[in-house]
Amino acid sequence: MKPYDIEITGVQLYFIPVRTRVPLKFGAETLTEVTCARACIQTRNRNGETGEGWGETPLSVQWVWPSPLSYETREKALQAFCLMIAGELTEWATEPGHAFELGYRFIHERLPELKERFQKEQGAESGVSDSESLPYLAALVCFSLFDIALHDAYGMTNRVPTYSTYNATYMNADLSAYLEPAAEADVRFDGRYPDHFLAAQPPQELVAWHLVGGKDMLYRHELNGSEPEDGYPYALEDWTRQDGLYALKIKLTGNDPAWDYDRLVQVGAIAQAQGVQWLTADFNCQVTAPGYVTDILDRLMLEHPKVYQSILYVEQPFPYDLHAHPIDVRSVSARKPLFMDESAHDWEVVRLGRELGWTGVALKTCKTQTGALLSLVWAKAHGMTLMVQDLTNPMLAQIPHVLLAAYAGTIMGVETNGMQFYPEASSYEAAVHPGLYSRENGTVKLDTLQGYGFGYRIERIGRTLPAPAFSSPS
C-alpha cells in the first residue's frame, strides 16, 4: 500500500466524430470517417488528494474488427461496449493502486467477462451474431481510452509526470508479478520495474513516419491540375517536399503480389528522388504464407537493390491470431526484421511470436497503455526491437502515443499520420502543441508537453466537447 494509490470516483465518456480528408485503406476495407472515444476519469489517492485524467482512442472499426458485418453495425457495437465499460468502472470495487495495477486488474479480471456479457445482452440487439462476436482486440481498444485516462489521472492526482511513476517509489509490485521470461532466456523480472526499460532522458524530437495508404496519390500529375482547397498536400511527392520526410510506411494489399511489388517500386523511386532514407512494408494481416513476402523481397533485392536496402522492417503480414495461425515466419525475418502489430495485444502473444520467428514488436497505445508497457518490457528483455505505430491518432490521442515512442527507444522514431488524414480535427490541440501535429524536417517535437500526467495542458486546449454519452458524478 502506497499513499499514492488511487481509486476511481467518477467517469465521463464522449464520442467525437471525425471525417477523413482522403480515404485510408485498411486491408480489404477503406476508412472515410471515425469516432474518437474520449474518457475523463476522476480519482482520489489514499491521502485524499484528487485529480482527473484524460484518454482518447479512435474506434477504428476496420482495423480492430475486420468482418463482413456493416460498418454501422460494428461501430454501434464498439460504442455500446465503451458505454458498458464506463458503467462497470463506476461500480468496480477494487483495492486502490497504481494506474498500471488497476489497468492490469481490469484487463484480466473484468474485460473478458464484460465481452461475454456484451455478446449475451447486446449482441443480437446490435446485429452481432456469436460467429461474428466482438474481437478481443476490439475490446482492448474500447478499454484503452479509460486505461490511458487512469495513467494520466494517477500523475495528475499525485502531482507528478506519469512516466516518472513506473518505479519502486510508486508501484506496489515489481514486474515479476506480471511477466514470465521465456524458458530458455537468461532473463529475470524480480526487483525490476518498467523504468528499467524506459529511456531516462527521452528525446524531445522524433523522426516521423508518413503513411502511404493504398488509395493515396503518389504523383502530382494525378491531381489533374486540381489543387487541394485546405492547403494540405494530396500527392506523396508534395508531402515529402513539404514535410522533409525521412521515412515512409507503405500500405500493401497482402493478396495481390503484382500490385504490392509495383507499389514498393513506385514509392521507392519517389523516396530515392526526394531523399527519403527509410521504408517499411505493411501487409495488414492479409498474407497466409511466408512465400508471398519472401518472393517480393527477393525480387526487390535483385531488381531494385536500393529499394530493398531502404526497407527497415516488415510489418504484420500474417493473420493476427497467432494461436489460430501459428505460422513459422523465420524465412521472412531472415531477410528483414519482422514486427508484430495487430498480433501483439499482450506480452504472452509476443512470447509466442518470438517462438515463431518474429523479431520485433509494434506497440500501440490503443491496445492500452498498461499492455503496451508490459509488451515493451518483455520484448526488450528478450532482445526484440520496438516500434510505436499509429492508429491515425488525432487530438488528445496523439500525445500518449508519441510519449510512448519517446520513452520506448524505437528502431526509429514514430509513425504519425493524423495530420495527413484529418489535420483540422486537431486544431485546438495544435494551438498548444504545434510541433506534435505537424512535421518539420521530417520530425515531430515533444517540447511543449509539460506538467503532470501526460502533460496535455488540457486547461489551455479549450476544446468544447459534445454532451457526454455517459457521466457519473465525482
pLDDT in tens, 195-205: 999 999 999 99
Same domain? 61 vs 149: yes
Same domain? 159 vs 284: no
CATH of the domain at 338: 3.20.20.120
3-state helix, strand, coil in the chain (%, to 5): 45, 20, 35
Torsion of CA 152, 156, 162, 168, to 10 degrees: -120
- Domain extent at residue 124: 6-180+466-472
326 in a structural domain? yes
CA distance 265 to 134: 37
Same domain? 242 vs 315: yes
Same domain? 198 vs 148: no
pLDDT at residue 343 in the model: 77
The pLDDT tens digits for 42-60 are: 999 999 999 999 999 999 9
The pLDDT tens digits for 374-404 are: 999 999 999 999 999 998 999 999 999 999 9
Same domain? 435 vs 316: yes
Share of residues in the chain with pLDDT > 90 (%): 85
Number of domain units in the chain: 2
Same domain? 252 vs 361: yes
CA distance 235 to 96: 51
pLDDT at residue 464 in the model: 95
Same domain? 203 vs 93: no
Mean pLDDT computed over every residue of the chain: 94
What value, to the nearest 5°, has the Cα angle with vertex 386 and ends 255 and 440? 90
Q: Write the single-letter amino acid at 209.
A: W
CA distance 291 to 148: 39
**Pairing between β-strand 360-363 and β-strand 338-340 as defined by DSSP bridges:** parallel
Query: What DSSP letter does each residue of 361-422 carry, written as one string?
Result: EEE-GGG-HHHHHHHHHHHHHTT-EEEE--S---GGGHHHHHHHHHHHT-SSSEE--HHHH-
460 in a structural domain? no
Per-residue pLDDT 10s for the chain (474 aa) are 899 999 999 999 999 999 999 888 776 788 889 999 999 999 999 999 999 999 999 999 998 998 899 999 999 999 999 999 999 999 997 899 999 999 999 999 999 999 999 998 887 777 787 778 899 999 999 999 999 999 999 999 999 999 999 999 999 999 999 999 999 899 999 999 999 999 999 999 999 999 999 989 999 888 877 778 788 999 999 999 999 999 999 999 999 999 999 999 999 999 999 999 999 999 988 999 999 999 999 999 999 999 999 999 999 999 988 999 999 999 999 999 999 988 788 899 999 999 999 999 999 999 999 999 999 999 999 999 999 999 899 999 999 999 999 999 999 999 999 999 999 999 999 999 999 999 999 999 999 999 999 999 999 999 999 999 999 976
- Across 6-38, b (16+ Cβ under 10 Å) vs e yields bbbbbbbbbbbebebbbebbbbeeebeebbbbb
- Please name the residues in contact with 311: beta carbons below 8 A apart, sequence gap of 6 or more: 264, 278, 279, 280, 281, 297, 300, 336
CA distance 55 to 147: 7
The pLDDT tens digits for 260-315 are: 999 999 999 999 999 999 999 999 889 999 999 999 999 999 999 999 999 999 99
CA distance 287 to 244: 32
